[in-house]
């Protein structure tokens, strides 16, 4: 069993195995299941993610009308223009946003680690897939790698916006995705940890301020930012860039920052963007003047 990122990396390096393999073995031990059963369970998650992205690119709309259709707009932009940020990164943005648009439209998604941040891991996976050409097994391992780092965060800090702000949701999701990208691209376990740290420390302090208390604005577009940062941080780590603050210390900092956030900035819909003039008008429009 591992509890920290340092322990996770140490096990992988000592046994000369992938981060994903460490997580698979732990799941087998904890759940008392065979490797085949563990893989099958995770493949079902992958299938849910794939379906959500496919549905989003057909165009979806939330009941409130606050979100929907942006994933399609980005795909059309990519076909007709040369994106300034590059097609791989923008494809990840589109698919991350699309997944969250499906969530807002009451579709089925896989929380990674939460519904509000569910777009980052699949969005990046199905974008880098087009460049790295992974096998289905490697795609499933991508989710195990992300899950291993998510496990560390959940056991040492928090992954909900209500507990620690959006840094705990999209911040964790972006960091998880970044670590998984590194492994899929052939990086080392330590490089996965560096990518995780670089991503999370650049999301520290991010508040959770859903307009009208709904997981739509700004949540969908924050998944875009999380997926972008995940890819950039993965490239940095693969290039040999390291985080001066170790992974576990970044997680600890996120925890302390979350504890110090006022409740108005932790998913209550009372502060931040939710408390702007437009945010208040949207709330009244959706729920009425008594909301």
Q: Could you tell me the mean pLDDT of each successive run of 10 residues in the chain, 291 residues long? A: 97 98 98 98 98 98 97 98 96 98 97 97 98 98 98 98 98 98 98 98 98 98 98 98 98 98 98 98 85 43
Given this model, what pLDDT does residue 291 score? 43
- In SS3 terms, the chain reads as CCCCHHHHHHHHHHHCCCHHHHHHHHHHHHHCCCHHHHHHHHHHHHHHHHHHHHHHCCCCECCCCCCECHHHHHHHHHHHCCCCCCHHHHHHHHHHHHHHHHHHCCCCCCCCCCCCCCCHHHHHHHHHHHHHCCCHHHHHHHHHHHHHHHHHHHHHCCCCHHHHCHHHCHHHHHHHHHHHHHHHCCCCHHHHHHHHHHHHHCCCCCCECCHHHCCCCCHHHHHHHHHHHHHHHHHHHHCCCCCCCCHHHHHHHHHHHHHHCCHHHECCCCCHHHHCHHHHHHHHHHHCCCC
Q: Could you tell me the pTM of the whole model?
A: 0.97
> How confident is the model at residue 289, as a pLDDT?
52
Res 232: pLDDT = 98
Q: What is the CATH number of the domain that holds 237?
A: 1.10.4100
Provide the domain count of the chain: 1
pLDDT, residue 288, reads 86
What domain range is 137 assigned to? Answer: 5-287
């Amino acid at each position: 069993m591992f509890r920290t990122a340092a322990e996770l990396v140490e096990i992988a390096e000592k046994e000369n195995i992938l981060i994903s393999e460490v997580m698979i073995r732990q799941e087998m031990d904890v759940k008392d299941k065979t490797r085949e059963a563990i893989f099958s369970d995770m493949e079902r998650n992958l299938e849910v993610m794939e379906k959500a992205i496919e549905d989003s690119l057909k165009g979806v709309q939330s009941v409130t009308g606050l979100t929907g259709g942006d994933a399609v707009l980005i795909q059309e932009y990519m076909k007709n223009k040369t994106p300034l940020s590059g097609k791989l990164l923008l494809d990840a943005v589109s698919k991350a946003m699309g997944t969250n648009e499906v969530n807002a439209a009451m579709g089925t998604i896989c929380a990674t680690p939460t519904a509000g941040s569910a777009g980052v891991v699949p969005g990046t996976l199905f974008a880098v897939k087009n460049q790295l050409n992974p096998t289905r097994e490697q795609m499933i391992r991508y989710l195990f790698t992300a899950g291993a780092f998510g496990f560390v965060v959940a056991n040492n800090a928090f992954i909900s916006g209500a507990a620690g702000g959006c840094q705990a949701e999209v911040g964790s999701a972006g960091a998880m995705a970044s670590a998984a990208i590194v492994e899929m691209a052939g990086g080392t376990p330590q490089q996965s940890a560096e990518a995780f740290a670089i991503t999370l420390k650049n999301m520290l302090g991010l508040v959770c301020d859903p307009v009208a208390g709904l997981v739509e604005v700004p949540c969908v577009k924050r998944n875009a930012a999380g997926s972008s940062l995940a890819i950039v941080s993965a490239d940095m780590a693969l290039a040999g860039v390291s985080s001066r603050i170790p992974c576990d210390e970044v997680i600890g900092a996120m925890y302390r920052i979350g504890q110090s956030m006022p409740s108005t900035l932790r998913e209550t819909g009372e502060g931040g963007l939710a408390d702007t003039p437009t945010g208040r008008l949207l709330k009244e429009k959706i729920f009425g003047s008594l909301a």
